[in-house]
């Protein structure tokens, strides 16, 4: 199930986006539902299931779309954002790790289709990671994990401000995340590139304020992986 949010103060544009999305999902036989918002304040008050994609108007009464983006950067209920506006000069103001694309009004059906294909693909890549607990086996989505720290034969899985103990070695977690946004930075650490705020010579500053160490031998690979990820997310997505 793909859950699509649409935030626009004009019903005409909400209806247009729903029609374009439904046409695409019907062709690919993808289950989907919509959640509609008429203001940025409504988006911030949302407490439902995670939105895989939010179509977000920039020019609205009250909070504008850019202010909404700033407020939801660490909101797990909204995964990806597509900005919709008549003001193409604002395009580069919307670039963010959450931002999937920038679409101009009137909407191009091909642009909407490209966004939907991307979010479906990225959702499929957002795999479940399994780990042992005292009670048995539990699972966590990749995009919830900030970092993983080895503690002997065990691990601490960091999600925002919380740490979850796992009774696995770090190699077990690393083996499940090969080819994803999770990379080895140190003999005792994995870091999720989705949460990296800044790369320093000795560590990664994460969006939750923690610092993940970088071992000397890992530094070239970490830098290359981070800048490749950054290029993909903040440039290639938005062209």
Q: Give the three-class secondary structure for 120.
A: helix
Query: Looking at the structure, do residues 31 and 105 belong to the same domain, yes or no?
Result: yes
User: Of the candidates 98, 125, 152, which is a domain's last residue?
Assistant: 125
pLDDT at 148 over 90: yes
Query: Looking at the structure, do residues 62 and 112 belong to the same domain, yes or no?
Result: yes
Q: Which residue has the tokens 């705020």?
A: 197
Q: How many residues does the chain have?
A: 239
> Residue 17 has what pLDDT?
97
Please report whether residue 239 resides in a domain: no
Query: Looking at the structure, do residues 69 and 14 belong to the same domain, yes or no?
Result: yes
Give residues with Cβ within 8 angstroms of 77, minimum separation 6: 46, 47, 48, 49, 50, 51
Q: Which domain holds residue 22?
A: 2-125
Query: Looking at the structure, do residues 7 and 108 belong to the same domain, yes or no?
Result: yes
Contact call for residues 100 and 80 (beta carbons, < 8 A): yes
Query: Looking at the structure, do residues 20 and 109 belong to the same domain, yes or no?
Result: yes
| End-to-end CA, the chain | 27
CATH of the domain at 30: 3.40.50.2300
- In this prediction, residues 223-239 reach a mean pLDDT of 74
Q: What is the pLDDT of residues 114-133, one digit of tens each?
A: 999 989 988 888 999 999 99
Query: Looking at the structure, do residues 52 and 20 belong to the same domain, yes or no?
Result: yes
User: Of the candidates 125, 142, 175, which is a domain's last residue?
Assistant: 125
Percentages of the chain per state (helix, strand, coil), in multiples of 5: 40, 30, 30
- In this prediction, residues 138-146 reach a mean pLDDT of 93
pLDDT at 234 over 60: no
pLDDT at 75 over 80: yes
As given in the structure block, the two tokens for residue 162 are 């919380």
Please report whether residue 199 resides in a domain: yes
Residues 224, 229, 234, 239, CA torsion sign: positive
Query: Looking at the structure, do residues 120 and 188 belong to the same domain, yes or no?
Result: no
Instruction: Write phi, then psi, for 144 (nearest 5 degrees).
Output: -90, -15
């Amino acid at each position: 199930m793909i859950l699509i949010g649409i935030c626009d103060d004009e019903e005409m544009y909400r209806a247009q986006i729903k029609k374009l999305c439904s046409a695409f999902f019907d062709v690919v036989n993808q289950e989907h539902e919509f959640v509609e918002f008429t203001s940025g304040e409504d988006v911030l008050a949302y407490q439902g299931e995670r939105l895989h994609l939010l179509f977000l108007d920039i020019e609205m009464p009250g909070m504008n779309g850019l202010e909404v983006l700033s407020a939801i950067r660490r909101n797990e209920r909204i995964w990806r954002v597509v900005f919709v506006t008549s003001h193409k000069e604002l395009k580069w103001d919307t670039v963010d790790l959450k931002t999937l694309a920038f679409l101009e009004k009137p909407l191009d059906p091909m642009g909407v289709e490209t966004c939907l294909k991307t979010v479906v693909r990225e959702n499929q890549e957002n795999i479940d990671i399994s780990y042992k607990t005292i009670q048995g086996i539990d699972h966590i989505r990749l995009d919830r994990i900030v970092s993983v720290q080895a503690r002997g034969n065990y691990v601490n899985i960091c999600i925002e401000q919380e740490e979850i103990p796992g009774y696995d070695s770090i190699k077990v977690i690393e083996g499940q995340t090969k080819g994803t946004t999770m990379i080895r930075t140190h003999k005792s650490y994995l870091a999720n590139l989705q949460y990296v705020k800044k790369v320093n010579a000795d560590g990664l500053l994460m969006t939750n304020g923690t610092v993940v160490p970088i071992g000397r031998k890992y530094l070239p690979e970490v830098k290359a992986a981070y800048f490749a990820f950054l290029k993909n997310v903040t440039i290639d997505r938005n062209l």
